Structure 1
């Protein structure tokens, strides 16, 4: 898990639908920068330093794993996406959105592209008033004064009007869920999605240790002979891994994302094992299943079989290249039956057959939105 740093940002808009610009900026920050912890009230102020329409201004507190340079780049990308044109002069002008980094923890940064704390904080009521609302006791790292004290000492006399305009704080996945399990057929992209969510939301990730299983390459060469030892070894390993990692989760209450759930073992065993072997396997499985924590959300990524075969070919694991389409179809049928019969499991099926969430950020954000709304 990455170290989260606290940053305070100032947002302002005086073009177009100003409130909508602020909300879209907050949503983008929540999706691409970090956890939005606090949002101030919306304040209406006259344009500062030039003649123009009134601004709507806010300050927000964000927890981010980004370093200052990458934070700046992400914020500039959000500004550009919402229509801000880079100012080639030193003069202020109208803009649909303006996002400034006020503080980054207690760091002092002087570089060509970034100065933190922001040099104009102490001279601007439209920054200090909303900032004091959400962080009155934060210490200015250069002035060594509380923000409330900085506001009390500010000589800016421009009029600032607090409004009742509403803004919605985006809910982070780590606030809504403690444990998410992502499953799918072979080649569906469950591991890639788990890693991406883990990185974005600073989650602990549990990845299946399939590469360490000595029976797996042998199984794809002779399925009938190696099915039972393969499935038993997988069951034991999955049970041990989930017991250890979810036991720590129960202790520390971290946000966890896994790229498999223990029921995967039963689904594959149903397809692979003969009747007598499966009955024995099921007895062992039922004992272990009772002991494993259930996920807050179970996600099944559906990929159609032709796309699965393409993905399997692309990732180039030699022992997977002979997997027949019929086998993948049976695995999907097993998952489908599982999802339909588990009434006490909070499930979400996402069809990713026409999505490329690894390379297309819009597809990825669409999936994250579906998870948030589940």
Structure 2
């Protein structure tokens, strides 16, 4: 078994999709630990603000099988790909950030996820959930990476989330 860290985000009926996404992960992959939930601005496009968090779980699935399971869960929750979402809308986005010490670089998958240290919506909840976890390539803890995070264009604020 390896520990997987998965980013969960939504900007459509946010509270409902956060609850549904976490419940689906538990139902299909087993017990999860969750970070605090944050509200963040969209990055890379203009759209509604998101709710984001990071989930940790243990799995014996391969990286490719786990990503396929995450994509299937997104689809089951109404995720539209290829421009089919409402402008700036995403019902459920599940991204595999880390899977144990796996390092994968392929056309379809990169582990650790390359952009995880560049986005507040990923790095802050990951640092909350696993502050002492070391990045497999950078050798720094998630808390140290968050402490050094410097992009004042990205706003992030905690949500008093009612589970």
TM-score (norm 1): 0.41
| Cα shift at 1:120 | 0.7
Structure of higher RCO (CA pairs closer than 8 Å, 6+ residues apart): 2
Mapped pair 1:78 → 2:73: yes
Structure 2: stretches of 5+ with no match in the other structure? none
Decide which of 6, 10, 15 is 1:9's aligned counterpart: 6
Matches within 5 A, 1:314-333: none
Instruction: Give the match for residue 57 of structure 2.
Output: 62
| Cα shift at 1:62 | 0.8
| Cα shift at 1:86 | 1.7
For residues 140 and 39 of structure 1, the distance between their equivalents in structure 2, rounded to whole angstroms, comes to 19
For residues 71 and 34 of structure 2, the distance between their equivalents in structure 1, rounded to whole angstroms, comes to 20
Identify the structure with the greater strand proportion.
2
Decide which of 28, 48, 59 is 1:53's aligned counterpart: 48
For residues 79 and 145 of structure 1, the distance between their equivalents in structure 2, rounded to whole angstroms, comes to 31
Decide which of 19, 26, 34 is 1:23's aligned counterpart: 19
For residues 30 and 112 of structure 2, the distance between their equivalents in structure 1, rounded to whole angstroms, comes to 19
For residues 69 and 9 of structure 2, the distance between their equivalents in structure 1, rounded to whole angstroms, comes to 17
Show CA shifts across 1:153-210 (max 9, x none).
212222111011123xxxxxxxxxxxxxxxxxxxxxxxxxxxxxxxxxxxxxxxxxxx
Instruction: Give the match for residue 161 of structure 1.
Output: 157
Instruction: Give the match for residue 113 of structure 2.
Output: 118
Mapped pair 1:138 → 2:133: yes
| Cα shift at 1:20 | 1.1
| Cα shift at 1:111 | 1.7
For residues 112 and 128 of structure 1, the distance between their equivalents in structure 2, rounded to whole angstroms, comes to 24
Show CA shifts across 1:253-276 (max 9, x none).
xxxxxxxxxxxxxxxxxxxxxxxx
Show CA shifts across 1:214-243 (max 9, x none).
xxxxxxxxxxxxxxxxxxxxxxxxxxxxxx
Structure 1: stretches of 5+ with no match in the other structure? 168-374
Contact 2:48–2:88 (Cα < 8 Å) also in 1:
no
| Cα shift at 1:87 | 2.7
TM-score (norm 2): 0.93
For residues 133 and 79 of structure 1, the distance between their equivalents in structure 2, rounded to whole angstroms, comes to 24
- Runs of 4+ aligned residues of structure 1 deviating over 3 Å after TM superposition are none
Instruction: Give the match for residue 259 of structure 1.
Output: none
Contact 2:102–2:111 (Cα < 8 Å) also in 1:
yes
Identify the structure with the greater helix proportion.
1
Decide which of 72, 82, 85 is 1:87's aligned counterpart: 82
Q: Report SS of the residue matched to 1:161.
A: strand
Q: Report SS of the residue matched to 1:21.
A: helix
Q: Greater Rg, structure 1 or structure 2? A: 1
Decide which of 30, 33, 49 is 1:34's aligned counterpart: 30
Contact 2:54–2:125 (Cα < 8 Å) also in 1:
yes
